[in-house]
Every structure is written in structure tokens, then in C-alpha cells.
């Protein structure tokens, strides 16, 4: 069993106070004093080493941050022994016996040779015992394809969502980062794996611990399970025009220091009239309004999903003061920055 560092005896802890107003969904002291959470990482030949690395690194850093190192994991497989990934990574896996040796959670890692038959019986046994199973990317796709009847929302990587919708009828299939139904969590995997793991262990961590974990992993924001997967550029007809794509890229790159529209059109090599016409046709709003909404959305994300002081959020979003930012947020969402932060908790999984 791997933990990153040895378990220690439980320590008493007083409740931590978060000066920013973000609270964990559990009492901080309770989170710190939870005992342990065990993971079974199921791999098959051709597994996705990136997804596995995201899981291990996140749990390892969380153990380093938490005083009790509560997270443990082990590798299992339908073909125990040395299991090789799609690109040559090797892990030593224990045998996965269908009705024996369950952990608190089993995570089935995606890969090029995922076979639902190798873990589906074990999944059903864990489900009956009230234990959770996480299926990432290709594993989620294999589960969706192998199931005769799916109840509740499901998801997988967007590339497979398109294929599934072309080849079958899946009314409960969403494009969110993860979904949960009946103890089965399906996820997009790949880069979203880290967000999901943080969400799964969030109840064991205080809000400052979650913030530190995100910082160590160099995450600007922690995405919730309800976040939509990034869309392809070609999904938006405006972005077939390289100059329009350049305009949006310039806007996104200058959120903290907004540029005048004349400078944006100059850098992109388009006229003001052309820019106005295309934005009206595609987005039904002016370029200036589109630019402002980008900044407002960025501010909301930082307010709700980070522990940054509001003055830093305002500066990072191109607002001259917290009052200006709050007025913009209230105009767009009906709440000031302070109200948003007061009502939000560090809760990443919306299921």
C-alpha cells in the first residue's frame, strides 16, 4: 500500500479560520481528523500513464500537505504482475479478484486496450456494497457501450461523446468533466483527472490545504464536476477566420490589462467595422461587450474557486478596484463579489 509518507496517529486540531470567506464543505477540524481513504488503481495493458500519473501525484502531494497522510493506493489488474502502459511505463499490479479485497474506491484508468469485461463484475460487487467506482475516459466509454440500460447522467472524453452520439442513443450523456450515478463516477479523464481526484479527497482537507494542493500542482483554478469540457475551435463558426481567432486570443491574453479596441484591431489586422459585424453575427453582441464578459467570467471563477484576496482578483481581471468588479459581477450575475464568496464552499463535485 502506497501513501507517500507513513501514517501517523490522529492529531487533535482546532477549527481553521479562512479570512477569504471560502469554507470547506466539512468542518476544517473534522476534515483534518478523518482517518484514511484507500484507492484501488485498476490498470490494463496499454493504460494511460498520464491519467495514472495525475492520480498518484495528486494523492502524494495531498499526503505531504495533510498531517496524517490519509490517502493510500495500490495497483490491481486482470493480468497481475508487470503491466505496461501505451508508452512503456511499467507498474507492478496485484490480482483483482472480483469479489475480494475491495478498497474504498476503485479507479479504472483509461487506455488503448480497455476491456470492460475485465472489471465489470468487480464494479457490480462494489456497487452492491455501497463502494464507489471511478471510470476514466476510455473506461467510461467502455462502460457506456457495454451497459444495456444506463440510469442517471454519464460522461466520457469529448472525442468519444461525438462517436457515441453518432452510433447510438444516449440521452443521459453529458459533456461535463464528471458525472455520478448509483455509485459509478464517469469522467473525462486525461487532464481533468487531477480536478476529479481533488474533488474526491476534498472532504479530507481544509480549505487552505485544498488551496495549497492546487498551488503545488500549478493549477490556476480548480474545475468543478459540472464544468463543461473544452470545445474544439472548429465548433464556433467565427473561429474559422484566423483573424477572428486572433482577436479572441488577444482578448484572453490581456484580461488583467485590458487593451483599447483600436489596439486589438491593430494587432489582429482587422478593421473596427469588420470586427463589429462578425461579433454581431456570431455572438450577438459587440466586441467590447464580449471582452468585458470574458473579464467578468474570469473574475467570477477566481472569486468562487480560489482563495485570492478580492483586491488581487480585481487586478487579475482588469478591474481598477473591488467595487468596480463587484458592480460588474452584480450586473451580470445578481451578486457582488463578497456575496459570491460568502455563499460558496470548497466543493468541487456537484453530486
Query: What is the domain-level CATH number for residue 51?
Result: 3.40.50.880
Q: Which residues span the domain enclosing 196?
A: 23-216
pLDDT of residue 103: 96
H helices present in the chain, as ranges: 28-32, 49-65, 120-128, 138-146, 158-167, 193-201, 207-216, 242-253, 261-268, 272-283, 287-305, 310-316, 322-333, 337-343
**Whether 146 and 212 share a structural domain:** yes
Mean pLDDT of 154-180: 89
- Tens digits of residue pLDDT in 98-108: 888 999 999 99
Say if 224 falls within a structural domain: no
Both 169 and 123 in one domain: the answer is yes
Give the domain-ending residue among 155, 183, 216.
Answer: 216
pLDDT at 73 over 80: yes
One domain for residues 322 and 177 = no
**pLDDT higher at 342 or 124:** 124
User: How many domains, in total, are found in the chain?
Assistant: 2
Do residues 245 and 208 share a domain?
no
Average pLDDT over residues 272-279: 89
Query: How many other C-beta atoms are found inside a 10 Å radius of the C-beta of residue 174?
Result: 17
pLDDT score for 239: 53
pLDDT band at 249 (very low <50, low <70, confident <90, very high): confident
In a shared domain, residues 256 and 312: yes
CA distances from 350 to 181, 224, 226, 302 (A): 12, 7, 6, 18
Identify the weakest region by mean pLDDT among 21-25, 48-52, 110-114.
21-25
Based on the fold, state whether residues 207 and 284 are members of the same structural domain: no
Q: Where a domain ends, among 216, 246, 270?
A: 216
Residues 194, 191: Cα–Cα separation, whole Å = 7
What average pLDDT does the segment 293-300 reach? 92
pLDDT at 10 over 70: no
Q: Is pLDDT at 228 greater than 50 in this prediction?
A: yes
Residues 201, 257 share a domain: no
Beta bridge partners of 73: 2, 39
Is it the case that residue 6 has pLDDT exceeding 90?
no
Quickly state the pLDDT bin for 13 (edges 50, 70, 90): very low
pLDDT, tens digit (0-9, with 9 covering 90-100), for 156-165:
998 888 778 8
Point out the domain boundary residue: 186, 216, 246.
216
- pLDDT band of 18, cuts 50, 70, 90: very low
Q: Please give the Cα distance from 217 to 194 (Å, whole number).
A: 9
Asked if the structure places residue 339 within a domain, the reply is: yes
pLDDT at position 33: 55
Question: In terms of domains, do 190 and 153 share one?
Answer: yes
* Predicted pLDDT of residue 141: 95
Average pLDDT of the residues in 172-193: 95
Instruction: Looking at the structure, tell me whether residues 131 and 188 fall in a common domain.
Output: yes
Can you give the pLDDT at residue 20? 26
pLDDT level of residue 153 (50, 70, 90 thresholds): very high
CATH of residue 265's domain is 1.10.10.60
Q: What is the pLDDT of residue 319?
A: 95
> Are 212 and 245 part of one and the same domain?
no
Residue 85 in domain: yes
Cα(41)–Cα(322) distance, rounded to whole angstroms?
A: 45
Q: Is residue 1 part of a domain?
A: no
Is residue 5 one of the residues assigned to a domain?
no
Amino acid at each position: 500500500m502506497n501513501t507517500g509518507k507513513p501514517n501517523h496517529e490522529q492529531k487533535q486540531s482546532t477549527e481553521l479560520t479562512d479570512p477569504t470567506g471560502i469554507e470547506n464543505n466539512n468542518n476544517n477540524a473534522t476534515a483534518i481528523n478523518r482517518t484514511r481513504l484507500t484507492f484501488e488503481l485498476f490498470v490494463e495493458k496499454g493504460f494511460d500513464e498520464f491519467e495514472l500519473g495525475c492520480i498518484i501525484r495528486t494523492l502524494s502531494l495531498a499526503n505531504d500537505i495533510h498531517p496524517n497522510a490519509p490517502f493510500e493506493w495500490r495497483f490491481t489488474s486482470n493480468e497481475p504482475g508487470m503491466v505496461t502502459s501505451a508508452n512503456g511505463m511499467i507498474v507492478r499490479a496485484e490480482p483483482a479478484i472480483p469479489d475480494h479485497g475491495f478498497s474504498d474506491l476503485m479507479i479504472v484508468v483509461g487506455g488503448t486496450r480497455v476491456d470492460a469485461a475485465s472489471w465489470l463484475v468487480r464494479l457490480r460487487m462494489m456497487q452492491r456494497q455501497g463502494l464507489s467506482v471511478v471510470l476514466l475516459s476510455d473506461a467510461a466509454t467502455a462502460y457506456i457501450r457495454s451497459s444495456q440500460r444506463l440510469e442517471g447522467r454519464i460522461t466520457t472524453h469529448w472525442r468519444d461523446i461525438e462517436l457515441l452520439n453518432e452510433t447510438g442513443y444516449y440521452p443521459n450523456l453529458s459533456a461535463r468533466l464528471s458525472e455520478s450515478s448509483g455509485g459509478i463516477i464517469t469522467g473525462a479523464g486525461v487532464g481533468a483527472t487531477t480536478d476529479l481526484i481533488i474533488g474526491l479527497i476534498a472532504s479530507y482537507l481544509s480549505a487552505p490545504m485544498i488551496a495549497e494542493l492546487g498551488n503545488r500542482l500549478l493549477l490556476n483554478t480548480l474545475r468543478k464536476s459540472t464544468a463543461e469540457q473544452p470545445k474544439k475551435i472548429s465548433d464556433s463558426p467565427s473561429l474559422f477566420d484566423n483573424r477572428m481567432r486572433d482577436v479572441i486570443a488577444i482578448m484572453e491574453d490581456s484580461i488583467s490589462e485590458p487593451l483599447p479596441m483600436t489596439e486589438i484591431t491593430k494587432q489582429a489586422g482587422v478593421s473596427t467595422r469588420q470586427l463589429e459585424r462578425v461579433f454581431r453575427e456570431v455572438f450577438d453582441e459587440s466586441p467590447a461587450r464580449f471582452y468585458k464578459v470574458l473579464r467578468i467570467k474570469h473574475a467570477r471563477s477566481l472569486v468562487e474557486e480560489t482563495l485570492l484576496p478580492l483586491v488581487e482578483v480585481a487586478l487579475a481581471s482588469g478591474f481598477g478596484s473591488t467595487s468596480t468588479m463587484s458592480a460588474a459581477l452584480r450586473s451580470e450575475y445578481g451578486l457582488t463579489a463578497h456575496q459570491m464568496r460568502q455563499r460558496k464552499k470548497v466543493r468541487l463535485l456537484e453530486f
